[in-house]
């Protein structure tokens, strides 16, 4: 090792050397690397390489040695003066560690890779795709392969990237601060895909924070480990051009939408292999044909963004830009989505911009300040979930969330985002007592900044991705959720109809003896059914936390439970609104959902459960083939009550009508009583043909069917001049095609 001789003149003062060696220097790019010699004569190269035994400098132009560097501090500070050199040049190090020689390219020899425009647009909140350069990206710089790390931490005194590549030593790769934006970056040569890393941050007072995962990280270690991972550029070759080209047509309001909601970790597991998850590839092989055979038009996955705690089901994400590694790589997730599309199945995912967890490696107090969240817990803390709330008024946070929405649509061809917990975002007093929240500037309870964020995301997604669906899980009467932004709405395409779900479940759980007193719970939804564009959700939330499964909610003996479930699902499928059913409901799962195990697939060996599966399959087939049942889901012109006043017998009759006039009449008899000669009014003279009956024997019913064409009669009922007489099966919903005839 080259040592200083007595005549050597130090070019740095002791304080500067100590700051570099202790990782306290705030601008190491001004010290390390290649610089003009302080004397003005020649150049000097400085390096900080802890524990190096010796360092030799080589020029990359001719590859010859320029000399052995002098160790000027035992902590690992080296430098070499080049008095004859006048022009800057490329160089590399040859470093000896533990007796082994390694070639190193100096990260401090590489200038800034960020443009002024990137810094400006990020700070302004108008960059829709910051994910393309924030985070960790492999790239080549001047022929040198490595990874560019970029992170936002404006209040930090120092930010370093740490990983196996530098022995998790925060002194080694201290990043460059771009003061205009608060962004730190560094290009680290030799770091390739698969490397794990975190950010080591000193707050504004120089206090070390817990190591932080990358907010824009594209990959993560397997939980419970929490490091981010450098990922390679996508290598998947998409084969869904046909799907993508027609998506804006197939996802219109007047098209059928039947959604199978699922939790990837518990749809199916491998009990014989330690109860392991299915991979994305295995899900493509097993889930896709299953959903296709059932006839659902879309799947909706509970959050797939990386999350630390299995019990959160993904609703407390830390890695918003990373498909969870639990089931495979990002390219394998692309393969899964591609497989869905090639089978004609759309893919929706839950998106969680409402809050994030307090895990110390996450976004909370990221640079020692409330960076992503509000400082005041009355605005920045969710008491229900022990989570933090984004500061939606901060432009950089808007960039983060908007870019995340675009990321899933760009990188994974996702067909829609179901936005979680919208109600908690809209109201400042959500789940808070008096004095626990701060009114907005007008003294109101609306979160104006969150509203503006949702409007911005919905508008920009709509402009950039025609046909992509934005769906709100919103449980209040907030006006205009699905109205366009330019008329004051939030700009969503659909809203979950939580009121319909609560009312109808409350009704169907009652003993049929008492249903006559609560029939308004079935009919009330039609009072507001067209005030928004609705999805009717029977989601995971209704079959967990002691609520029991859908089948378990049903009253009566075993036969009646299955009959009630068949009738309820059929009521839903024939009611205005798009459909969503959580996994297991399609075959009558008996136990409530448990995220730690598979659905009870063995139940399909029972005819009763297999009958429910066949029922759902046939309901989807009926829906897809019947424009009357979907074309006017969002318009009152497609619905009409034919009989609403027979609560005593718990019977309802209504019609659905397509834009071209195709009409289907639906009856619902919600008691076990058969009505063999039941009369109701019809729109005009005509004939009825039964095309669906939830009491059919193939579903496990008593097979009380109408097998003959039914002629309408000129007999007034319910104020209508014509009526029809049909047989109403017990605890059943029946669908009839209606064709009007003209008088001879």
What is the spatial distance between Cα 119 and Cα 203, in angstroms, rounded to a whole number? 21
Beta carbons of 657 and 713 less than 8 angstroms apart: no
Rounded CA-CA distance 150/94 in Å is 27
List own/partner pairs for 541-546 with CB under 8 A and 24 or more apart: 542/501, 542/505, 542/582, 543/582, 543/584, 543/585, 543/589, 543/592, 543/593, 544/592, 544/593, 545/592, 546/592
Evaluate whether 648 touches 684 at the Cβ level (below 8 Å). Answer: no
CA dihedral 550, 556, 557, 561 (to 10 degrees): -30
Q: Could you list the beta-strand ranges (E) of 429-585.
A: 469-472, 494-496, 534-538, 578-582
DSSP 562-605: HHHHHHHHHHHHHSSSEEEEETTTTTT-SSPP-TTS---GGGGG
| CA angle, 402 then 407 then 411, to 5° | 165
- Tokens 């560097």: give the residue: 69
The CA distance from 77 to 71, in Å, is 6
Spatial distance between the Cα atoms of 67 and 51, rounded to a whole number of angstroms: 19
Helix (H) or strand (E) holding 679: strand 675-682
* End-to-end CA gap in the chain: 112
Confirm if 543 and 550 have CB atoms less than 8 A apart. Answer: yes
**Catalytic entry in 332, 396, 449, 473:** 473
In the annotation, is 558 catalytic? no
As a whole number of angstroms, the distance between CA 727 and CA 675 comes to 6
Q: How far is CA 526 from CA 350, 520, 631, 657, in A?
A: 27, 10, 17, 15
What length does the chain have?
A: 744
The sign of the CA dihedral 416, 334, 213, 155 is: negative
Give residues with Cβ within 8 angstroms of 123, minimum separation 6: 180, 181, 182, 395, 396
* Burial of 474 from C-beta contacts in 10 A (0-12 / 13-18 / 19+): buried
Beta strands in 172-306 (DSSP E): 176-178, 183-189, 196-202, 228-229, 258-262, 269-270, 276-277, 298-301, 305-306
| Both tokens assigned to 684 | 């005009």
| CA angle at 33 for the pair 27 and 36, rounded to the nearest 5° | 95
Decide if 568 contacts 670 (C-beta within 8 A). Answer: no
In this structure, what token pair is assigned to residue 712? 């309408």
Bridge partner list, 678: 726
CB 14 within 8 A of CB 196: no
| Phi, psi of 578, deg, nearest 5 | -75, 165
634 closest CA partner among 256, 247, 250:
256
Beta pairing, strands 494-496 & 578-582: unpaired
- Separation between Cα atoms, residue 349 and residue 187, nearest integer Å: 33
Active-site hit among 240, 373, 415, 420: 420
Alpha-carbon gap, residue 394 to 405, rounded angstroms: 17
- Read off φ and ψ for residue 239, nearest 5 degrees: -125, 25
The question of whether 645 is a catalytic residue gets the answer no
Tell me how far apart the alpha carbons of residues 261 and 314 are, in angstroms, rounded to a whole number. 14
Q: Mind telling me the catalytic residues?
A: 420, 473
């Amino acid at each position: 090792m080259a040592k200083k001789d007595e005549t050597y003149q130090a070019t740095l003062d002791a304080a500067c050397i100590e700051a570099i060696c202790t990782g306290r220097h705030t601008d190491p790019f001004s010290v390390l690397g290649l610089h003009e010699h302080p004397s003005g004569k020649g150049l000097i190269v400085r390096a900080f390489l802890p524990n190096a035994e010796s360092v030799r400098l080589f020029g990359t132009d001719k590859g010859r040695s320029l000399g052995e560097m002098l160790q000027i501090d035992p902590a690992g500070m080296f430098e070499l003066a080049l008095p004859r050199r006048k022009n800057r040049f490329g160089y590399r190090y040859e470093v000896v560690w533990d007796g082994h020689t390694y070639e190193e390219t100096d990260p401090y020899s590489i200038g800034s890779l960020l443009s002024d425009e990137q810094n400006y647009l990020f700070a302004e909140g108008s960059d829709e795709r910051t994910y393309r350069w924030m985070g960790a990206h492999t790239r080549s710089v001047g022929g040198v392969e490595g990874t560019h790390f970029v992170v936002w931490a404006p209040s930090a005194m120092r930010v370093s990237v740490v990983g196996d590549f530098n022995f998790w030593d925060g002194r080694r790769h201290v990043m460059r601060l771009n003061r205009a934006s608060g962004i730190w970056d560094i290009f680290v040569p030799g770091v390739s895909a698969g490397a794990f890393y975190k950010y080591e941050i000193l707050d504004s007072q120089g206090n070390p924070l817990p190591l932080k995962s990358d907010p824009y990280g594209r990959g993560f270690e397997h939980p419970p480990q929490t490091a981010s991972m450098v990922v390679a550029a996508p290598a998947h070759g998409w084969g869904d051009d046909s799907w993508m080209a027609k998506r804006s047509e197939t996802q219109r309001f007047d098209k059928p939408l039947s959604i199978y909601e699922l939790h990837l970790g518990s749809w199916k597991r491998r009990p014989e292999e330690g109860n392991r998850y299915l991979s994305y590839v295995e899900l493509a092989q097993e889930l896709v044909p299953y959903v296709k055979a059932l006839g659902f038009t879309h799947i909706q996955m509970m959050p797939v963004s990386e999350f630390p705690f299995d019990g959160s089901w993904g609703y407390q994400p830390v890695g918003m830009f990373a498909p969870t590694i639990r089931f495979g790589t990002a390219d394998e997730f692309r393969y899964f989505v591609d497989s869905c599309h090639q089978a004609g199945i759309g893919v929706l995912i839950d998106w969680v911009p409402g809050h994030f967890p307090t895990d110390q490696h996450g976004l909370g107090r990221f640079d020692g300040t409330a960076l992503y969240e509000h400082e005041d817990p009355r605005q920045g803390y969710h008491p229900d979930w022990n989570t933090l709330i984004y500061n939606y008024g901060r432009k950089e946070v808007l960039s983060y969330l908007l870019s995340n929405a675009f990321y899933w649509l760009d990188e994974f061809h996702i067909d829609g985002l179901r936005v979680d917990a919208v109600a908690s975002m809209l109201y400042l007093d959500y789940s808070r007592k008096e004095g626990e929240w701060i009114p907005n500037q007008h003294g109101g309870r609306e979160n104006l900044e969150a509203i503006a964020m949702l409007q911005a995301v919905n508008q920009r997604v709509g402009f950039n991705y025609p046909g992509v669906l934005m769906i709100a899980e919103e449980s209040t009467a907030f006006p205009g959720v699905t109205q366009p932004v330019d008329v004051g709405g939030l700009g969503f395409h659909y809203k979950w109809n939580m009121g319909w779900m609560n009312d109808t479940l409350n009704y169907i759980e009652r003993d049929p003896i008492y249903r006559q007193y609560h029939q308004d719970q079935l009919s009330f939804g039609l009072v507001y059914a067209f005030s928004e564009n609705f999805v009717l959700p029977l989601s995971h939330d209704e079959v967990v936390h002691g609520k029991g499964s859908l089948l378990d909610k049903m009253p009566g003996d075993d036969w009646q439970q299955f009959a009630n479930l068949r009738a309820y699902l059929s009521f839903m499928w024939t009611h205005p609104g798009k459909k969503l059913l959580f996994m297991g409901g399609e075959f009558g799962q008996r136990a409530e959902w448990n995220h730690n195990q598979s659905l009870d697939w063995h139940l399909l060996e029972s005819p009763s459960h297999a009958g429910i599966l066949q029922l759902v399959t046939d309901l989807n087939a009926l829906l897809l083939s019947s424009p009357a049942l979907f074309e006017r889901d969002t318009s009152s012109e497609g619905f009409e009550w034919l009989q609403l006043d027979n609560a005593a017998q718990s019977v309802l009759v209504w019609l659905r009508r397509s834009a071209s006039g195709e009409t289907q009449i639906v009856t619902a008899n919600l008691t076990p009583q058969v009505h063999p000669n039941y009369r109701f009014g019809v729109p005009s003279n005509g004939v009825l043909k039964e095309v669906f009956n939830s009491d059919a024997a193939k579903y496990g019913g008593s097979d009380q069917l109408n097998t003959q064409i039914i002629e309408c009669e000129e007999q007034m009922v319910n104020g209508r001049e014509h009526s029809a007489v049909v047989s109403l099966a017990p605890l059943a919903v029946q669908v009839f095609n209606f064709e009007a005839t003209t008088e001879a």
